[in-house]
């Protein structure tokens, strides 16, 4: 299997910023899936730019108590934007230090925002 396609993070500007920042959005890689280096304080934005609903998945790992909490094939309506997280390290960070996510169509765009 090929390496997952890494997503670019956008740093949130903080509470005293004089202006907002543009969120970097990228098409979901349906073949290789996506990943993002985990900071322990990341939000994932999923935007469905299609006229049909599509599904996304964020893969969890067992937390300190052995619990899993995958976001599995959650449907996002046509034109909708959803936000997930923040993703803490425990329960979400894979062995390579990344969060794993995927969508079933490249018309789903992902953005990642790291909170201050």
Q: Give the chain's largest Cα–Cα span.
A: 44
Q: What's the CA dihedral at 14, 56, 1, 25 to 10 degrees?
A: -40
| Predicted model pTM | 0.93
Whether residue 35 is predicted with pLDDT greater than 70 in this model: the reply is yes
Q: Indicate the SS3 state at residue 104.
A: coil
Q: How confident is the model at residue 1 (pLDDT cuts 50, 70, 90)?
A: low
Q: How confident is the model at residue 2 (pLDDT cuts 50, 70, 90)?
A: confident
């Amino acid at each position: 299997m090929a390496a997952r396609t890494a997503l670019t993070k956008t740093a949130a500007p903080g509470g005293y910023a004089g202006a907002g920042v543009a969120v970097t959005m990228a098409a979901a890689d349906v073949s290789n899936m996506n990943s993002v280096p985990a900071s322990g304080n990341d939000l994932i934005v999923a935007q469905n730019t299609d006229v049909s609903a599509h599904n996304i998945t964020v893969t969890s790992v067992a937390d300190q108590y052995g619990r899993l909490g995958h976001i599995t094939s959650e449907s996002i309506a046509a034109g909708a934007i959803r936000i997930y997280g923040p993703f803490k390290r425990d329960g979400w960070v894979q062995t390579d230090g990344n969060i794993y996510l995927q969508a079933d169509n490249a018309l789903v765009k992902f953005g990642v925002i790291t909170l201050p």
